[in-house]
Amino acid sequence: MNFTSKNEPFEHLRKVWTSKHRNLQDKIWDKHKESLSWIGRTISPRSLALGSLGGLLLLTAPQSGSFNTQIASTQGVLEGVDTNVLLADQLKDIVPKEVRPLDKTEEGDITKTLSQVFGFKVTSELEGIKLNRNYGLIGGEQHLYRYPGDNLQAHADSSGDWAKYGGSGIAPGLGAWGYFAPSKLEFTEKDKQKERYYLAIQTFLAPGFAENVGKYRDFFKHRKMLIVNPKTGQAVVAVIGDAGPAEFTGKHLGGSPEVMDVVGLAGGPRKGAVLYFFIDDPKDEIPLGPIKIKNFS
């Protein structure tokens, strides 16, 4: 299932928004360069990789201000800035440059970092089950039929939704687990979010799958996962909604149009390197969709 079409008006808006975001980061750097240099870090104006919360607290703090004033000033500096770029700065030294399976040490370092900054357990193994890899190339997928009689137009909640995601089309067949709901009447908001933020994962390559097809099939169905673009820190909580892509494609997983948009890979080749790990959420408390870091390490 390929994410094949390109909406030119949306691409123009995306480029405008990206340009504004970068300009904002540059202005922050220019305004606070002296303070940032004083704390002894070399910081890229493009990535706004500020390094630590301690450094952030010095950005706009007056010489004779209280700690609370410093925090308020910091919040002002970060207003409108995607703070997940701080995660990208942390990951750059522990994620390999080559897109390949991670070794145990890398898995441990990365899952520890992700668990700390997001505030929930991120792991490469649950119930004794692992994927064949947790770092690979993601490609764009089409929408999936959610219930009998569903259609592409029904997936859009607004004209903006249609402009951004309608052009991706809808897959001719069902996902690996069929419809997300047995009927439109029984279709819930939770089902809607599962299709909106779904992944196609190479479940069939997981160690032990061939020997335990039934067990693995049930385990992987709508299993919650964290997807992170290590270059930008953009992240999304999604579920496994399909199996694939095939090995010959050179891709290791696929993402819905919305997933690809959130991780910043909806444009250009619609392909890029991502980290993807299980989320240990037995009470189903973590919502699907874009997610921001909670803790500055």
In a domain, 250, yes or no: yes
Q: Which of 25, 51, 81 is the last residue of a domain?
A: 81
- Let me know whether 73 and 104 are in one domain: no
- Let me know whether 110 and 23 are in one domain: no
What pLDDT is attached to residue 39?
40
- Let me know whether 74 and 216 are in one domain: no
Note down pLDDT in tens along the chain; length 297 residues. 444 444 555 555 555 555 555 555 555 545 544 544 444 444 444 444 444 444 443 344 444 444 344 444 444 445 555 789 999 999 999 999 999 999 999 999 999 999 999 999 999 999 999 999 999 999 999 999 999 999 999 999 999 999 999 999 999 999 999 999 999 999 999 999 999 999 999 999 999 999 999 999 999 999 999 999 999 999 999 999 999 999 999 999 999 999 999 999 998 899 999 999 999 999 999 999 999 999 865
What pLDDT is attached to residue 70?
41
In a domain, 208, yes or no: yes
In a domain, 297, yes or no: no
In a domain, 122, yes or no: yes
- Let me know whether 34 and 178 are in one domain: no
Q: Which of 25, 57, 81 is the last residue of a domain?
A: 81
- Let me know whether 130 and 225 are in one domain: yes
In a domain, 175, yes or no: yes
- Let me know whether 76 and 156 are in one domain: no
What pLDDT is attached to residue 175?
96
- Let me know whether 33 and 147 are in one domain: no
What pLDDT is attached to residue 295?
81
In a domain, 201, yes or no: yes
- Let me know whether 24 and 153 are in one domain: no
- Let me know whether 66 and 96 are in one domain: no
Domain containing 237: what range? 87-290
- Let me know whether 115 and 182 are in one domain: yes
What pLDDT is attached to residue 15?
58
What pLDDT is attached to residue 102?
98
The rounded radius of gyration (Å) of the Cα atoms in the chain is 20
What pLDDT is attached to residue 7?
53
- Let me know whether 76 and 161 are in one domain: no
Q: How many domains does the chain have?
A: 2
Q: Are 129 and 212 in contact (CB under 8 A)?
A: no
In a domain, 295, yes or no: no
Burial of 28 (0-12, 13-18, 19+ CB in 10 A): buried
CATH of the domain at 121: 2.40.40.10
Q: What 3 state SS string does the chain have?
A: CCCCCCCHHHHHHHHHHHHHHHHHHHHHHHHHHHHHHHCCCCCCCCCCCCCCHHHHCCCCCCCCCCHHHHHHHHHHHHCCCCCCHHHHHHHCCCCCCCCCCCCHHHHHHHHHHHHHHHCCCEECEECCEECCCCEEEEEECCECCCCCCCCHHHHCCCHHHHHHHHHHCECCCCCCCCCCCCCCCCCCHHHHHHHHCEEEECHHHCCCCCCCHHHHHHHHCCCEEEEECCCCCCEEEEEEEEECCCHHHCCCEEECHHHHHHCCCCCCCCEEEEEEEEECCCCCCCCCEECCCCCCC
Q: Are 119 and 274 in contact (CB under 8 A)?
A: no
Measured in whole angstroms, the distance separating CA 97 from the mean position of its chain's CA atoms is 19
Q: Which of 33, 61, 81 is the last residue of a domain?
A: 81
Burial of 202 (0-12, 13-18, 19+ CB in 10 A): buried
In a domain, 296, yes or no: no
- Let me know whether 19 and 118 are in one domain: no
What pLDDT is attached to residue 11?
56
Q: Give phi and psi for 52, each to the nearest 5.
A: -155, 160
